[in-house]
Every structure is written in structure tokens, then in C-alpha cells.
Amino acid sequence: MIGWTIAALLAGVGFALYSYLAKILTYWTKRKVPGPKPSLLTGNFGINLMGQKSIGDICDQVYNDYHEEPVAGTFVMTQPLLHVHDPEIIKHVLIKDFKDFFGRGIYVETERDPLTAHLFNLSGKRWKELRAKIAPTFTSRKIKYMFDTMKECCTQLQDFVEAKCAANGGKYNADIREMQARVSTDVISSVAFGIQSNSLKTPESEFRRISTKVVEPTVCNSVRLMVLFFLREIAQKFKFSLTVNEIETFFTKLVAETVAYREENGIERADMLQMLMELKNKGFLKNKKGEEPEQAPEDGQVNGKLTMNEMVAQVYIFFIAGFDTTSATTSLTMYELTKNPDIQEKVYQEVQDVLKRHNGEVSYDAIAEMSYLDKVVSETLRMYPPLPFLNREVMVSREIPLTKVHVEKGTRVIIPVRALHHDAKYWPNPEKYDPERFSEENKASRPSHVYLPFGEGPRVCVAQRLGLMQVKTSVAMLLSRFRLEPSADTPEQVEFAPRSFVPLPKKDLMMTLVTRQTIAA
Ligand code: HEM
């Protein structure tokens, strides 16, 4: 008898839970928004947790299946997610109605998880204030200051490859993704902290170990990312800490020690840390002439000083946002140049011509003059955008622009960047690598908001100029000394690790670098 009662109770609880979940999962059908059928417990993103597809892959699939629809709806567990497909609606979300869509919807926990309180994650007033303070760190003038440091790391790369070639008959067979990840780690540690991480020459360096750990495509990192991006409520309820202790300790100690050393010894350097120190001590950045803020404060808060924790969080995002995006873009550009020797030759000729005009000197202005290189890098960012989607949060309950779909405050919004970049409607023959897509004429013939590698609107990547300059400098300096050739192991097509967020090839990305003297001989 007791057995029957327990069974009946369990069946009742099961049925109640089923009914509850099934009701929540009618969110989109009630609003007449099409989308794939969700599973009861995992929604539409369970295959990400199983390691079969990345979050970006799932967003691509939703776009491919529903690209005729202006919007589509999915669920992360029971959390509704709106995918915006129509470029006009995208424009409203990112720019025209930005004030209603400017949240990230990401988990931030200032006290328990201080590294989460950085510019990328923040929403609301805190984001607005911080963005106003940090944006002047990345003006062209500041990037020009950082250029020499960046160039120094690329010179070390040239010397490193030269030495390898010299020891091997003028050729070096390299995993270009790993090599660029090490160089980017060197660049970001120099321009962010003024520290030479020596990751290129010493792969076991502390910086490289940490940078690998941050982006490793493991099950833990994959779950962490999913919770961070879409399941903030669960993380807050169960008081999760999403930053690995070792990483938090590394950055906190690094910043505290470097700041103390510089302050005690009166050291000033042209790097990001210096600018963050100014924001910590004064609350604004000096301009060329003296002490005035570079941009007028909007209210009393904008001139408020950064706390030490806020400073560490910003250094952390500069580090992770800076090294993986640029190393992915540089290595995939080199991969495409290997596969497309005509395009490679054209870039090389341009690099030669421009450097001749600049007395052989690689400078900020010389790189900025390389217009074909700019098209090439733009095409890499189209084919392989480091961030496969943009995310926003609805800040007030309202209708989605240009639709009758009403959504509640807090609803997460996805802009499927990579899928838009591969839509044949906007990019004929989308799998072909063709830099001419970025000629002035072709750019003018495309609708706006179908090319978004850096995002768009007031939340656009704050360091877009720096990222582009780094990729172009690296490619130009390598091509000036070496030709890229396929090796026996160069893949026909790159396959990416499904647990990785930024495109990370499943296998080593092998190619051969040949010194130009060897070619001439
Ligand atoms: C090729 C290089 C890079 C690419 C493709 C890239 C791409 C992006 C994208 C797509 C976003 C989101 C924009 C949006 O939501 O509309 C973003 C935001 C951001 N990026 Fe980058 N990025 C690159 C390099 C960098 C570098 C070098 C840094 C720092 C040193 C950086 C720091 C940031 C920060 C702090 C944000 C958050 C901005 C905000 O929410 O206000 N990025 N980036």
C-alpha cells in the first residue's frame, strides 16, 4: 500500500514538473515566433553540453533553418532566447533602440567573483560609466604609443622563424595557430602590463599556461561559458563562482604587484595598465596638453575613480579578449594566404611597395596605408568571426522592433554574426575566400548590418583599432620575410573544436614558412 502511495506521489510530482516545464516552453509558440522544438530539460542547447556542437554552431543552425524568418526563438534550458535574423531589426537592436537592448544578460558578481565585473559583461549604468572611462584608452593616439611594443613582438617572431629556417635549410614547418597564440600572448602582456611574457620562445611560460587555461575547450569551460552567458539566474541562486581560482589569483597578484612597483618607483609606461592606473588615481585620462579629461563627464559618476578590483577585472578582459581574437584572425589569415598563393603574392607586393615609400620602416602609418591587406583581414573576419554571435539583453518589456512580438525585460537576444557572414543572399559563393568583397563598390552594394565581426553601435568592440592593427602588423611583417606554403599536413578545410568559443582548430594548423632569400636562390 505504502509502495503504491509513493509511486502515485512520484507520478504526481513528475506530472506537475512536466506540466510546468511544458508550459514555460510554450513561450515562443504563444508569441507566434518560430523555432526548433526544445527538449524538456535542456531546451535547444543540450548538444552543446554534450560536446557535439558549439553555442555558435547551434546559432548557425537556427539561422540556416529559419533564415527567411525575421526572428526565431530557442531555449537554453527554460531560458527563452530570441535570435534576430533580419538586418533592419538588427540595426534597431544594436543602434536605433540601443537604450532598450544594451544589456549583456551575463552573470556579474562583483564581490564573490570580481573578475566577472568587466566591460564586456557589465550592463546598465555601470557599463555606461565604465565604457566612458575606458574608451579613451583605445584612441588612435594611444594605439600609436603602443605600436612600437607590438612591433617589437613581431620582430621577435621574425627572428624566431628566421632561426628555425636557418637550422632547417630555409624552411620551418609550424603549427601557425599555436605560434600566433604565443605571439599574441606576448603582445597583450606587453601592451597591457608592460611585461615581457616570452611565450614565443618559452611555451611553458606562466602567461602562456594561463592563456591556454582560460580558453581550453574542456567540458568545465564549456559549462562555465553557458552559465555565464545564459543562466545568470541559476549562478546567482546557487552562488557559483565562475572564475577558476588560479586565474583570479594570477591576475590579482600580477596587477597589485605591478601597480605597487610602478607607484613606488615613479615608473610611467605607454601601456593599458598605466591608463587604468590614471583612472584609479584620478578618475580620468590626461589629454595631450595636461590634466583635462579627454571627454566631458556626463554626470558626477563618470569622473569616479576605478577601484583596484575593477582595474583587475578590466586587465583580465583585455587579456582574454585581446589574445585569442587576434591570434585566431592572424593564423586563419595566414592559412587562407597559404591556400590562395595569388592573394598572398598581391599582399606581399603591397607590403613591399608601402615599405619602400616608408624607407623600409614598419610604422603605424605604413600599416594603415596597406589597403589590400585591410581587405584580406576583413575577409578572414567574415569567414571566421572570432565571436560567432553577439548577445544583448532586453532592458524594458517591449515589442521587438518592426515586429508584433512582445518580450519581457531580461529576455536574451542573439545576433548570429557567423551565419549572417555565410548567407549567400549577401555573400555570393560564401565559402570562397575573396578579399574583393570589400572593395568600395561591393561594400556599397550590400545591406548594412550583415557584417559584424566587431559588433556595432555603442557596444562595438572597444579595441577594434588595436585588434586590427595587431593582426595586420603580424601578417605584414611575416610576409615581408617569409612565403607561406602548404605542407603535407595543411588541412583542406579547417575543422573547429566544438567546445571552443573562439574558432580553435581541432588539429594543429600546419604550414611551411620559407625564407625569401631561399626562394630567391
Ligand atoms: C581581431 C580582434 C578582435 C575582434 C574580432 C573582437 C571582437 C569583439 C566583439 C564582436 C565584441 C562584442 C561587440 C558587441 O557586442 O557589439 C567585442 C567586445 C569587446 N572587445 Fe573585442 N575584439 C577584438 C580584439 C580586442 C582586443 C585586442 C581587446 C582588448 C585589448 C578587446 C576588448 C574588448 C572589450 C573590452 C569588449 C567589450 C565592449 C563592451 O561591451 O563595451 N577586443 N570584441
pLDDT one-digit tens code per residue, 193-250 = 888 888 888 878 888 888 888 777 787 777 778 887 888 888 777 777 778 888 899 9
231 with 240: CB under 8 angstroms? no
CA distances to 113, 187, 194, 300, 480 from 155, in Å: 38, 11, 17, 44, 11
If one residue of 461, 465, 469, 471 were mutated to test the ligand 1 pocket, choosing by the most ligand atoms within 8 A of its CB, it would be: 461
What is the H or E stretch that residue 367 is in? helix 364-369
Q: What pLDDT, on the 0 to 100 scale, is given for residue 215?
A: 76
Please classify residue 41 by burial: count the beta carbons closer than 10 Å to its beta carbon, then call 0-12 exposed, 13-18 middle and 19+ buried: exposed
Q: How far apart are CA 421 and CA 453, in angstroms?
A: 9
- What pLDDT does 212 receive? 83
Ranges of the chain whose pLDDT falls below 50: 294, 296-302
Pairing of strands 171-175, 390-393: unpaired
Tell how far the Cα of 462 is from the centroid of ligand 1, in angstroms: 6
**Which atom of ligand 1 is the closest one to the Cα of 386?**
5
- Write down the pLDDT at residue 53: 84
Q: What is the pLDDT of residues 178-192, one digit of tens each?
A: 999 999 999 988 888
- Cβ proximity of 509 and 491 under 8 Å: yes
Report the C-alpha dihedral over residues 445, 449, 451, 456, rounded to 10 degrees. Answer: 140
329 C-alpha to ligand 1 centroid (Å): 13
Question: What is the predicted ipTM?
Answer: 0.99
The reported pLDDT for the residue numbered 125 is 87
Residues 406-418: tens digit of each pLDDT: 999 999 999 999 9
Is 461 annotated among the ligand-binding residues? yes
Q: Which atom of ligand 1 is nearest to the CA of 191?
A: 30
Nearest CA to ligand 1 atom 37: 120
pLDDT at 521: 58
Q: Are 394 and 410 in contact (CB under 8 A)?
A: yes
Q: Is the dihedral of CA 455, 460, 464, 467 positive or negative?
A: negative
- Give the nearest ligand 1 atom to 387 CA: 10
pLDDT of residue 175: 95
Whole-number Å distance, alpha carbon 26 to ligand 1 midpoint, is 35
Q: How far is 354 from 350, CA to CA, in rounded Å?
A: 6
Strand order in the sheet with 390-393: 71-76, 79-84, 412-415, 390-393
pLDDT at 301: 43
The binding-site residues of ligand 1, defined as CB within 6 angstroms of any ligand atom, are 119-120, 131, 317-318, 321-322, 325-326, 329, 381, 386-387, 390, 453-456, 459-463, 466-467, 471
pLDDT attached to residue 300: 38
Q: What integer pLDDT is reported at residue 519 of this predicted model?
A: 63
> What is the CA(32)–ligand 1 centre distance, in A?
34
Cβ neighbourhood burial of 431 (10 Å; 0-12, 13-18, 19+): exposed
Q: Measured between alpha carbons, how far is 444 from 449 in angstroms, rounded to an integer? A: 12
In angstroms, what is the span from residue 336 Cα to ligand 1's centroid? 23
* Distance between start and end Cα atoms, the chain: 93
Contact in structure between 112 and 121 (CB atoms under 8 Å)? no
Distance separating alpha carbons of residues 275 and 269, to the nearest angstrom = 9
- Closest residue CA from atom 24 of ligand 1: 467
Please tell me the distance from the alpha carbon of residue 515 to that of residue 337, in angstroms, as a whole number.
16
CB-based contact 506:477 (threshold 8 Å): no
> pLDDT at position 21, please?
67
